[in-house]
């Protein structure tokens, strides 16, 4: 696989000739909304045979060598290049097989109906874990199930290990008072522990994922104790334990979202953690990249200093936001899939931009009412940038929020970079 960024005047036909793939295959792999219209700045996944690389504008032999884990001298020798500086766009190079480390992947699934079931059958080979979202904990330690049973049998058939997710969700949001009750009332907590174990056994889950958010800072120690307790209970009964953690850049970071999430404690007692490295650009805030790569790196720099790297799943967003601009406080962005973002760009025939610091695509358009919009989304380039972080930091893998999604490029990029470990 290669990633090509469309330049003005390029078509599916011209690219098919350059990369020696059929136009139909190129359109199908990317699920192009209109195969007759490519947008300047649009990223395309190009399926190429293993051992072959087609030089792109701006490439150097050194950059290509890094991608394939070799040296410029070795590449030059493989291809009989007398002058390694004289490579040109469209030139076909022989390259060694690209190293593909083995990682684990998790996906939080929120649709258990026909769409979610069909999606899981399609992407099952790319997932280690499936986390149906979610069992809501009550103030008495009971569990409100999400009705996820239809996808559990599909997960097992695809060798995807299901993880039970529990949250302090109440109504339409995470509830701090509910978390406080569960973490400080031992009778409630005892009941919760028994209900969790019963559900794990009854539904055939492989383990537990705790996603308690917006916990009062004063409940940091009680939450630590709860994680330690659940670690002992899960391991005694043969289950794995994981937690979802807010994206912190230091142990002293303030704010209700962050303070009660004690990275070193979770790293000690959990089998792995999910870092929620997204939502810098969020539905109720001003336009911004959802997971700007420079901010994600700041989180990873702190996380890897206090949590073993092989216990970290980096969060990856697979959705888009559309803001009306100029943004006004109190307004909400529209949420949709990356593929819908591309369809919208095609509909309004706008150029797609790519922010060099955030490593994220975006575009602007004017709707039929004359309103200006700004859209930030994910594409093959931004996903590759995140896969590069997994390699560079030596992480356990990635965790997707949220599934199902319409984003075919993601799975091509994932498979080009890594092999996926199966636990069942």
If you average pLDDT over residues 109-126, what whole number do you get? Answer: 98
If you average pLDDT over residues 347-352, what whole number do you get? Answer: 98
CB 386 within 8 A of CB 358: no
Q: What pLDDT score was predicted for residue 57?
A: 85
Q: What pLDDT score was predicted for residue 89?
A: 87
Instruction: Kindly tell me the burial class for residue 349, based on how many C-beta atoms sit within 10 Å of its own C-beta (0-12, 13-18, 19 or more).
Output: exposed
CB 110 within 8 A of CB 403: yes
Of 34, 42, 48, 14, residue with least CA distance to 416? 48
CATH hierarchy code of domain 102-316+382-420: 3.20.20.80
Domain boundaries, the chain: 2-94, 102-316+382-420
Judge whether residue 189 has pLDDT over 90: yes
Which residues fall within 8 angstroms of residue 355, CB to CB, at 6 or more apart? 289, 292, 361, 362
Q: What pLDDT score was predicted for residue 23?
A: 96
**pLDDT band for position 98 (50/70/90)?**
confident
**Within 13 Å and on the Cβ side, how many CA atoms surround 167?**
23
Among the listed residues 104, 148, 158, 213, the single catalytic one is 213
Of 422, 423, 421, residue with least CA distance to 102? 421
Residue whose pair of structure tokens reads 């962005």 in the numeric block:
333
pLDDT digit string (tens) for 129-178? 999 999 999 999 999 999 999 999 999 999 999 999 999 999 999 999 99
**pLDDT band for position 366 (50/70/90)?**
very high
Of 105, 18, 29, residue with least CA distance to 57? 18
| Pair of tokens at residue 275 | 């870092």
Residue whose pair of structure tokens reads 């049973």 in the numeric block:
149
Per the document, the length of the chain is 424
pLDDT digit string (tens) for 277-301? 999 999 999 999 999 999 999 999 9
Q: Please give the CATH superfamily to which domain 2-94 belongs.
A: LysM domain (3.10.350.10)
Q: What pLDDT score was predicted for residue 50?
A: 82
**pLDDT band for position 101 (50/70/90)?**
very high
Pairwise CA distance, residues 106 & 128, whole Å:
6
Of 123, 198, 133, residue with least CA distance to 162? 133
More reliable by pLDDT, 267 or 19 = 267
Strands (DSSP E) contained in 80-223 are 92-94, 102-109, 129-132, 135-137, 143-144, 161-167, 169-170, 173-174, 207-211
CB 124 within 8 A of CB 151: no
Q: State residue 306 phi and psi, 5-degree precision.
A: -130, -10
Q: What pLDDT score was predicted for residue 368?
A: 97
Q: What pLDDT score was predicted for residue 315?
A: 98
Instruction: Kindly tell me the burial class for residue 133, based on how many C-beta atoms sit within 10 Å of its own C-beta (0-12, 13-18, 19 or more).
Output: buried
DSSP alpha helix (H) spans, 112-175: 114-123, 149-157
Topology agreement, domain 2-94 and domain 102-316+382-420: no
DSSP bridge pairs for 376: 321, 362
Q: Specify whether 213 is catalytic.
A: yes
What string of DSSP letters covers 186-216? HHHHHHHHHHHHHHHHHHT-SEEEEE--S--
If you average pLDDT over residues 207-216, what whole number do you get? Answer: 98
If you average pLDDT over residues 355-379, what whole number do you get? Answer: 98
pLDDT digit string (tens) for 22-80? 999 999 999 999 999 999 999 999 998 888 999 988 899 999 998 888 999 999 999 99
Q: What is the mean pLDDT of the chain?
A: 96
Q: What pLDDT score was predicted for residue 217?
A: 98
Reported as type and span, the H/E element at residue 376 is strand 372-376
Q: What is the pTM of this model?
A: 0.95
If you average pLDDT over residues 330-352, what whole number do you get? Answer: 98
């Amino acid at each position: 696989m290669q990633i090509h960024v469309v330049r003005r005047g390029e078509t599916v036909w011209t690219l098919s000739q350059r990369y020696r793939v059929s136009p139909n295959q190129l359109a199908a792999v990317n699920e192009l909304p209109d195969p007759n219209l490519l947008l300047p700045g649009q990223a395309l996944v190009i399926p190429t045979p293993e051992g072959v690389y087609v030089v792109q504008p701006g490439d150097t032999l050194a950059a290509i060598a890094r991608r394939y884990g070799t040296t410029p001298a070795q590449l030059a020798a493989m291809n009989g290049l007398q002058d390694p500086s004289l490579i040109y766009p469209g030139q076909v190079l022989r390259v060694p097989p690209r190293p593909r480390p083995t990682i684990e992947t998790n996906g939080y699934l929120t649709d258990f109906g026909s769409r979610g079931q069909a999606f899981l059958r399609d992407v099952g080979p790319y997932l280690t874990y499936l986390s149906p979202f979610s069992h809501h904990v009550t103030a008495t330690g009971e569990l409100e199930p999400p009705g996820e049973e239809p996808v559990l049998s599909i997960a097992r058939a695809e060798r995807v290990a299901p993880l039970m997710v529990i949250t302090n969700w109440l109504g339409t949001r995470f509830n701090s008072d509910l978390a406080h009750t569960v973490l400080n009332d031992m009778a409630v907590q005892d009941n919760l522990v028994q209900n969790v174990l019963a559900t794990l056994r009854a539904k055939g889950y492989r383990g537990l994922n705790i996603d308690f958010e917006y916990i009062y800072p004063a409940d940091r120690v009680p939450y630590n104790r709860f994680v330690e307790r659940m670690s002992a209970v899960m391991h005694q009964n043969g289950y794995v334990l994981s937690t979802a953690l807010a994206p912190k850049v230091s142990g002293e970071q303030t704010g209700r979202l962050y303070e009660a999430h004690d990275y070193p404690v979770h790293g000690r007692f959990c089998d792995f953690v999910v870092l929620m490295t997204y939502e810098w650009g969020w539905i109720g805030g001003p336009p911004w990249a959802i997971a700007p790569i420079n901010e994600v790196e700041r989180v990873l720099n702190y996380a890897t200093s206090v949590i073993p790297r092989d216990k970290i799943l980096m969060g990856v967003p697979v959705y888009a936001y559309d803001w009306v601009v100029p943004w006004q406080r109190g307004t909400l962005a529209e949420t949709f899939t990356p593929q819908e973002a591309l369809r919208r760009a095609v509909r309004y025939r706008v150029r797609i931009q790519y922010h060099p610091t955030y490593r994220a695509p975006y575009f602007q358009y004017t709707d039929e009412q004359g309103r200006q919009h700004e859209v930030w989304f994910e594409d093959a380039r931004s996903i590759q940038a995140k896969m590069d972080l997994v390699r560079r930091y030596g992480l356990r893998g990635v965790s997707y929020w949220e599934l199902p999604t319409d984003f075919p490029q993601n799975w091509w990029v994932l498979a080009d970079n890594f092999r996926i470990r199966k636990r069942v």
